[in-house]
Amino acid sequence: MSVHSGIGEEYMQDQGELVIKGIRIESKVLQERNVRPCGEGKCIAACCSGGVWLREDEAPRILKWADAIKACLPADRHDHSNWFESGKDDEEEEIGTSTVDDPARPGQHCCVFLQPDRKCSLQVVSQENNLRWPGIKPFYCATYPFYTEDDALMVDDETPLKFKGAACRRPSSDKRPLYEIYKMEAILALGEDGYRELLSRVDRSRRR
């Protein structure tokens, strides 16, 4: 995988931190890479190896589609009272998706909503019912490989390295910035207006 960090580093050197709608943009988000997103038949769901924290409205929204979700999952995961668990994130009480034994990786875990074919049941139900993106898929899943931490938009480069055969970053002959390669994810993280601001500010920096 070829990486060119020029855009990100040049912007930070010339302009300082890039902050959009109160979110600091990590320089990696601006990096140009010869990659393309994971695709059908290639994904082993490395990003679904654990549970995910949920926003306040997400668990109730998921439960509205419980019957459709159960139809996608093995029988031993049909009890929706076991789909979520609470814990602490940054010392605050949060709710997240539960994990179960991963049938494809003995001794490891995966998200309770991961189907045996390595597809996300929440995404499958969303697509089958023509729900507007991201449907009932949790925000922090739908923005992957971007994630937010301490009010910063960052890139997860660690997960693909932990899973042999993971195709999170497939080779591509085209070199483009990550915010373009993962446009939908970036728009979801920043909003349409935030994404337009990102494009505008990077473009102005290039023309200096």
This prediction has a pTM of: 0.85
48 in a structural domain = no
Predicted pLDDT of residue 89:
65
153 in a structural domain = yes
How many CA atoms within 13 Å lie on the side-chain side of 160? 16
- Total number of domains in the chain: 2
Contacts of 83 (CB under 8 A, 6+ apart): 62, 63, 77, 97, 98, 112, 113
| Same-domain check for residues 130 and 200 | no
Structural domain boundaries, residue 77 = 53-137
Full DSSP string of the chain: --EE-HHHHHHHHHH---EETTEEEPGGGG-EEEEE---TTT---GGGSS--B--TTHHHHHHTTHHHHHTTS-GGG--GGGSEEEEEETTEEEEEE-EEE-TTSTT-EEETTB-TTS-BHHHHHHHHTTPPTTTTS-HHHHTTTEEEETTEEEE--SHHHHSTT--SSEEEEEEEEHHHHTHHHHHHHHHHHHHHHHHHHHHHHHT-
The tokens 């500010």 sit on which residue? 201
| Same-domain check for residues 66 and 118 | yes
| Same-domain check for residues 97 and 76 | yes
163 in a structural domain = no
User: What is the pLDDT tens value at each position of the chain, 208 positions in all?
Assistant: 444 555 555 555 456 689 999 999 999 999 999 998 886 556 778 889 889 999 999 999 999 999 999 999 999 999 999 999 998 766 778 999 999 999 888 888 999 999 999 999 999 999 999 999 999 999 999 999 999 999 999 999 988 777 776 777 788 899 999 999 999 999 999 999 999 999 999 988 877 6
The tokens 């949920």 sit on which residue? 54
